[in-house]
Structures are given as C-alpha cells and as structure tokens.
Amino acid sequence: MAGTDWRAWHGDYADPASALSQRLTVVQAQIAQWLDRTQPRPVVVTSVCAGDGRDLLDVLTGRPDAARVTATLVELDADLAAAAASAAADLPDVSVRCADAGSTDAYAGCAPADLLLLCGVLGNVSDDDAASTIAALPGLCALEATVVWTRHRREPDLTPAIRGWFTAAGFAEESFTAPDDTRWSVGVHRLVDPPQPVSEGRLFSFVR
C-alpha cells in the first residue's frame, strides 16, 4: 500500500495508551481464549497481513501447549516478516511467508485453518474487497473455524455491514467488542456452514 510506512505504523504498539495497543490486548485475549477452548488437540492457525506477528506470537510464547499449534503468518513487508520470523525462532511449527496476503496463492498448504486472524485488513481495503474477502473465507477455513477480525468505526461505520457479510458467508457471531470511547472494534465469528473450495484469485488490495 503506497504512502504508508508500516514499520513506523507498528510503532504505536509501544504506547500502552494507544488505540492499537488497546485493540491488541483484546485480540490477544480472544486468541488465548480460543487456545484454551481447543486444548489439547492440534490446531492450524493462519494470520493474514500478519505484520510482525505479535498478536499471535506473544500469546504462543507464554503457553506450554504452543507445540500443538501449526501457524503460518503471511506478510508482504520484508522487514516486518523478518521481525516475525525472529520472534518465532523458538516456535518450530510457526512459519512466516513474505508474500502478498491479498492473493489466494499465498495460502497454498496452510488452508484450511482452525483459526484465521484478519486483523488490520478490513479497514485498509475497499468496501467491495472487504465483502468479497469475507465471502471467500469459507475456502480458507476448516469446519467450526474461528475468525478474529478488526475494523475501525469511523464514519461511515462499515462494521454493521461486515457483521452481516459474515452471517451471509455462513458464520455465527461469537462476540463483537466496540468500546464507546474508541473507534476500533474486534469481531469473532465461527464458521457453522460447511467449508467451501478455495476460489483462486485476488482477495483484496490495500488502498490507503
């Protein structure tokens, strides 16, 4: 996405009072709860536009059951991907792909996922791409898979439409966190309809 320095953007995570840090805390809590619920079975996790991977990796690093998690982090920025790979060095079943997460080619061999992280994506793509990406998610998810997603609520607030698109794609809403004093939100949806074949092609392109 031209015009955005994503490494500098991630710097806001260093400020505990920042919106990004607050959102991260909620995302990590959802990941930890999901891992607790799925014990002790092996699980597959895919992170879309993973950045430096801190949402998942910080949780896994502190868990004694991390070895049951096979995870693939997809990130186009080479520096962020390298940072994620370094953070995952002690997690042998976590791999980082420096690839375009907007293309279904990036997910070869790592779908279907039991947990799919779609954080920092839906607020940076067109509304049409957001809708088509959600519609395509059953092709990347296993039955009963959980999707954790984020989206800002600046006007016009797209989150009501996003929640409807998840329902139309065969997901049931598990939770939606949207504090009144913030503009961020974190949604959790579970696939209840049968998974679908992957529709090869383009999922989204960043526009901001």
Q: What percent of the chain has pLDDT over 90?
A: 86
Which pLDDT score is estimated for 6?
53
pLDDT at 46 over 90: yes
Report the pLDDT value the prediction gives residue 12, as an integer from 0 to 100.
Answer: 59
In terms of phi and psi (left: phi > 0; alpha: psi -120 to 50; beta: otherwise), the region of 51 is left
pLDDT recorded at residue 208: 64
- What sign does the dihedral 129-132-135-139 (CA atoms) show? negative
Alpha-carbon Rg for the chain, nearest whole angstrom, is 16
Domain parsing of the chain, residue ranges: 6-191
CA angle 26, 187, 208 (to 5 degrees): 90
Spatial separation of the C-alpha atoms in residues 90 and 61, rounded to whole Å = 8
What order do you get walking across the sheet with 113-118 strand by strand?
Answer: 94-97, 69-74, 43-48, 113-118, 141-152, 184-191, 171-177
Residue 65, SS3?
coil
Is pTM beyond 0.85? Reply is yes
Instruction: Enumerate the β-bridge partners of residue 206.
Output: 125
How far is the first Cα of the chain from the last one, in angstroms, to the nearest whole number? Answer: 6
DSSP 206: B
CATH architecture of 6-191: 3-Layer(aba) Sandwich (3.40)
As a whole number, mean pLDDT of residues 23-30 equals: 98
**pLDDT attached to residue 200:** 85
Confidence of residue 24 (pLDDT cuts 50, 70, 90): very high
The Cβ of residue 113 has, within 10 Å, a number of other Cβ atoms equal to: 24
Could you give the CA distance from residue 189 to residue 60 in angstroms, rounded to a whole number? 21
The DSSP bridge pattern shows strands 171-177 and 184-191 to be antiparallel
